[in-house]
Chain A
Amino acid sequence: MLEVRELLAGYGGAEVLRGIDMEVGAGEIVAVLGANGVGKTTLNHALSGLLAHRSGEIRFDGSRIDRASAAEIVNAGLIQVPEGRRIFPNLNVRENLELGSYRRGRERRAANIERVYAVFPRLEERARQTAATLSGGEQQMLAIGRGLMAEPRLLILDEPSLGLSPLFVEEMFGLVRRLHAEGLAILLVEQNVVQSLDLASRAYILENGVFALSGAAAELREDPALKQAYLGM
């Protein structure tokens, strides 16, 4: 469904991604893991058309999207829930959800809002509340809900557990599992290595601009190099 070949990207003189190759198949959960500042968000931005890449190819459903605009990529169903939530602080909860279907899924907006409310009853209780005044966890629900409004075919989640309490992190991973069970393909970008490897079928470990390790999550869990670098064992 998503194929990335030889992707190079960066900012000005700084090369951040130096040749990324990856794949996400239909209905799969794939994790991208890596330390702070290694370029995970940069990769997501390149995938979503927010950052122009230097070279390489990105294909979604077989068509090139690496020169497409962010809007065209949303149209194709590649939806990102960004790091830091990036909800619209001055709009209320419902308006945020409505804008989730600004470009895709507009015809089924009302029904999809009900679906999101069914997943996150807290959002329905706070439908008229200005998004800026939501708690961190509620903001994360809203960010994911807004992403779901676009009827994603592949959902990129950039550090959905960031800044959440341990209990809520559990809940968030549970939700990702449920979405996957409903058939949604997910690219999960995380620092939370243990839980991500439990959830994902495959994972890529980003280091120095390339994937230093990749493979089935079950195998990576047992990999001595990974254990040492990320789990301190």
Chain B
Amino acid sequence: MYAPAIVAEAFLNGLLTGSVYALIALGLTLVYGVLHIINFAHGALLTGAMFAVWAAHAGLGLDPYLAIPLLTPLFFALGYALQRFVIGPASHGSESNILLVTLGLAIIIENALLATFRSDTRTLATDYGFQSVEFGPLILSKPRLIGFAAAVLVTILLWLVLAHSDTGKAIRAVAKEKLGARLVGIDVGHVYAVTFGLGCACLAIAACLLMPTFYVNPRVGNAFVLVAFTIVVLGGMSSVPGALLGALFVGVVESLSGLYFGDSLGQLGIFLIFILVLLVRPTGLFGAKA
């Protein structure tokens, strides 16, 4: 058995990791909830965002946190344009086509990154990368604490936008009643693109929060998205609070099973729980009834 302080530290570290998972899961769950498709390009777009953070640091000397106000609108615009001018037109309104288009997009993005950056794994050095904060017996990484605060803040902001702004209401309206939405003058194509853009903006923020402590290579996004997909299912498809709670839960499970079964088996715990939950409660842990 481990000392309580070690277990507590693993638990808190799990929350810190989970909060960034939440940002990645949010994009997936939003796009699923509104466009009713699983965006297979999500992982590749995350990888792209992480390389963008790395390149902004290596090329322009831009600090990853300072890159947030630059990359967030940029990735929003990229996501908007992808949906409006590529995915939307190429899929001719058929959902199975959209799947294939996003899959194709994933392959193109990954290979473009592979051609540009090779398959090397890169990290980015900041002076705070290894700084930590002590809470009594607990030692937590400072950049990951910052990541936690930022991720929770962004999730709450996104939730507020969806709940209270006209655009947010339009997004929720389109998710369930497209014809009604068109009859009040909502441009459904625009709402789809905004939704996709929001998903990509969340990825950009996640990338900025990850890079001070993580590495990037052309495949790195896929592992995250597999976890994010688990979160989306656990949290109940298309629920923002569900995604946040699911992500924190998954982060803790991963961290604790890493502690007890060894680092390489950390993700095994996630998938075991995933299967268990699906057997017992197929609508997800925090999901409403289908």
Contacts and interface: CB of A to CB of B under 8 A. Distances in A.
Contact of B185 (A75, A82, A85, A98): A75
Nearest to A71: B185
B169 A50 contact: no
A68 to B, nearest CB: 11
10 contacts: A48-B183, A50-B182, A50-B183, A70-B183, A71-B185, A71-B186, A74-B184, A99-B169, A99-B173, A102-B166
Nearest to A101: B184
Interface of A: 48-50, 69-71, 74-75, 79-80, 82, 85-91, 95, 98-100, 102-104, 106, 146, 150
Main secondary structure of the interface of A (DSSP, over half): loop
A91 B177 CA distance: 10
A48 B184 CA distance: 10
Interface string B163-203: 00010011011011101111111110000000000000000
Given A98-B166, A99-B166, A87 B183 contact: no
Interface in B123-146: none
B166 A82 contact: no
B92 to A, nearest CB: 14
B185 A103 contact: yes
B71 to A, nearest CB: 30
Contacts of B187: 69, 71
Contacts of A86: 177, 179-180, 183
A80 B183 CA distance: 7
A196 B71 CA distance: 58
Contacts of A90: 172-173, 175-176
A160 to B, nearest CB: 14
B242 to A, nearest CB: 14
